[in-house]
Chain A
């Protein structure tokens, strides 16, 4: 989806404003939104969560704080998956006939679960490309979730690393299964992306799934 979240290459969005001695969370509610999102049954699909934040309409997306976006997306996902109704969320109270679930994450397992290395690598068909191959990104403009930014579409690059097959967000975000596809790191010269004014030594590297690429 060509949304405002896909902002690589834009300018004039305001100053980058580092805050000295920034706290992890600025308010207690930010910490709770983060924890609710991580503990929620909807967290099982991280790609769907990312896409839900992208679905916040552009002007609001740009105006909201980071955790306002997380809160908005969490509420939407709870409704989408039938865990709650908008009325219940507004009221902060379950409907009388509401079913009771079992939390996925209990306090006893948080430390173990947070310290456990999961993996997005899956078995899949052998990769078509190898390190050193020149590839071109496809000119894709899907209406759903994708991790191929606009600034890197239709551009030529070189494969610099292969990572096996990873869960494919373009499918997974939409409930179409994990659909694992080979994942590559692709190096694009800065001049290929931004033109002759860019430093000829510089490059941008992106991690891109095979369906984004064609041989060049």
Chain B
């Protein structure tokens, strides 16, 4: 594959279809500028600032942009909040839709056939494989990202974190917690 990709890049550069420096900048962007740390900041802000939480749940695209995150695959973001009685899980059964500006590019398992296939029919089994047995009386809401709306799960704030500042809270937030396969 490496040789075939190299040949394609050479061709596209030669034809003026892409700028090689732009490719370098794109790789840098997706390796270093976006990722779950962005989403973790959003979640930590929502946990610490009730007014921000309200804005995030009302219009996540705008609230996320307040923290400087926007762009492709984050055009229309909806934040869904886990509570003691509701657990949210995000999937894209048809391809690999994922909120790039706040979570970065998705991990291989999220894009894989077994996750895409099972998340909608057996969400509790999938979540159990990730380490959590959800009680029967917790409502599970699965969000299948079939359009250009991207979903960000706001995990429940762990107990005993009352004294922590936003940076310390953000360090507790995991990627899987914001997809909904894990609890914090």
Which residues of A line the B interface, CB within 8 A?
Answer: 5-11, 13-19, 22, 24-29, 31-36, 38-41, 50, 53, 62, 66-68, 71, 74-75, 78, 83-84, 88-94, 98-103, 105-107, 109-111, 113-121, 147-149, 151-152, 161, 163, 166-167, 169, 183, 185, 190, 193-194, 199, 201-209
Q: Give Cα A74 to B8, complex, Å.
A: 10
> A111, B25: Cβ atoms under 8 Å?
yes
Q: In the complex, how many angstroms separate the beta carbon of A122 from the nearest chain B beta carbon?
A: 11
Q: Does B82 contact A (CB under 8 A)?
A: no
> A18, B70: Cβ atoms under 8 Å?
no
Note all chain B residues with C-beta closer than 8 A to A209.
147
A-B contact pairs, 19 of them (CB 8 A): A9-B120, A24-B35, A24-B105, A25-B30, A34-B105, A71-B8, A88-B11, A105-B22, A106-B21, A107-B21, A111-B25, A114-B34, A147-B94, A149-B146, A152-B144, A202-B141, A203-B139, A204-B144, A207-B149
> B26, A103: Cβ atoms under 8 Å?
no
Partner of A206, one of B26, B65, B146: B146
Q: Considering only CB atoms, which chain A residue lies closest to B21 in the complex? A: A107
Q: Considering only CB atoms, which chain B residue lies closest to A99 in the complex? A: B15
> Contacts A92-B7, A116-B71: A105 and B12 contacting too (C-beta < 8 A)?
no
> B93, A166: Cβ atoms under 8 Å?
no
Partner of B113, one of A26, A50, A62, A88: A62
> A9, B121: Cβ atoms under 8 Å?
yes
Q: Considering only CB atoms, which chain A residue lies closest to B24 in the complex? A: A107
Q: Does B145 contact A (CB under 8 A)?
A: yes
